[in-house]
Amino acid sequence: RSPQLRTASWLSRPVEVFLVSPKMTKLEIKEYLCKLYNLPVTKVHTANYLGKRKTDQMRGTRFKMPDFKKAFVYLRDEQGTQRPRYHEVEAQLTDEAQAAWPARPNRV
The pLDDT mean for the chain works out to 79
CA distance 36 to 17: 16
* pTM of model > 0.85: no
Check whether 101 has a pLDDT greater than 70. yes
What confidence score (pLDDT) does residue 74 get?
85
Helix, strand, or coil here: 33?
helix
Buried b (16+ CB within 10 A) or exposed e, 8-47: eeeeeebbbbbebeeebeeeebbebbeeeeebebbebebe
pLDDT (tens digit per residue) in 25-37: 999 999 999 999 8
